[in-house]
Amino acid sequence: MPTPWKRDLNETRRSLEAWLESKLRDARDLEVSELAEPQSSGFSNETLLFDASWTEQGRPCSDSLVVRIQPTGYQVFPEYDLGLQFRTMALLEATDVPVPKVLWFEERSDLLGAPFYVMKRVEGRVPGDSPPYHSAGWLTEIEPEERRAIWLGGFDCMARIHRLDPSAAGFAFLDRPELGEDPLDQQIVYYERYLEWAARGRSQPTTEAAFEWIKKHKPTNEPIGLVWGDARIGNIIFDGTRPAAVLDWEMVTLGSPEQDVGWSIFLDRHHSEGIETPRLEGFPSYEETVAYYEERSGLAVKHLHFYQVFAGFRFAVIMVRLAQQMVHYELMDEATGSEFERNNTVTRLLAKLLALPPPGA
């Protein structure tokens, strides 16, 4: 879904063209194509696709590229570190986790209105979120065995991420001791502050009840690994059924690998039972999925219910801000947006997980 704020794409194209000339110093007659937004682009970032062509030492050259720009509109997250995402993908290039090759990071804001980075484009298809892939889109048009391979391919990517030693791979910089003693406590404090910032003093009954449950039931002595954060097949480019690139590292953190498992399963449940749509034929059961993940990762999944609730809570916090964003861009009126903050597909599924009264009941 394209971002609701709009920029002058022709002006951005000219700025990018001049900036690329400074990076490709031997390039001559460099041209940047018209910019396009991917259909999978979300509300929390701005992503533009383009082709660049030039001449180098008399030879024609070209490349398909992506520019990702730090949000300049109504922000979904209270803080946004684009450089952290760039650094994460650059480190992952040395591993067996498939990521796009990142090329340059630009800290200045005067060129495109915000910092940005450029990476190589990876061709393929991404399972859709709008509408969710269980209800429409290309996943509904392929064979069940292909869907099975795609779903398990996502968990294979997770297993690759979770097999990494985060310190040895260079990810110690993700630790945030100022927020808590261990990564789970750090995440809990972060989302507590996020909810306070987003809610603006307005009651969020289901989300607040889930937060109290999380504090009472959080597991201790959890293993610490690299956590993708927004772990789901909707953030993977597939070449056929093969994962070609893992995308969207804006929620990357340290923590229990189960955090990614719980998030991915909660999101899939949201895209099926959360919208009263059956899962597509071919998708393995969650029990089979967990067994596959455990075999591929070498890790035991012990607290899946907790991490599904934690996923639902975090998604519910994000939905508060998304509701306000939609009001800001006049996609909803104030009254509808205020109700949507508390009563939406995420909070209804979260209430179901915790056997709470449905929002609005």
Give the per-residue pLDDT at 141: 97
Q: What is the predicted pLDDT for the residue at 319?
A: 96
Phi/psi at 96 (5° precision): -95, 10
Q: What is the DSSP string of 192-244?
A: HHHHHHHHTT---HHHHHHHHHHHHH--SS---EEE-SS-SGGGEEEETTEEE
Burial of 100 (0-12, 13-18, 19+ CB in 10 A): buried
Looking at the chain, how many residues does it have?
361
How wide is the angle at C-alpha 29 spanned by C-alphas 27 and 34, nearest 5°?
105
- Please state the separation of Cα 163 from the chain's center in Å: 20
Residues 200-226: what's their mean pLDDT? 96
**Domains within the chain, CATH numbers bracketed:** 9-120 (3.30.200.20), 138-353 (3.90.1200.10)
Q: Rounded mean pLDDT of 55-69?
A: 94
* Residues 83-138 pLDDT 10s: 999 999 999 999 999 999 999 999 999 999 999 999 999 999 999 998 999 999 99
State the pLDDT at residue 73.
77
What is the distance between the alpha carbons of residues 218 and 228, in angstroms, rounded to a whole number?
20
What average pLDDT does the structure give for the chain? 94
Using alpha carbons, select from 139, 69, 179 the residue that is nearest to residue 280.
139
- Please state, in angstroms and as integers, the Cα–Cα distance from residue 273 to each residue in 148, 163, 193, 347, following that order: 18, 31, 30, 13
| Full-model pTM | 0.94
pLDDT > 70? residue 41 = no
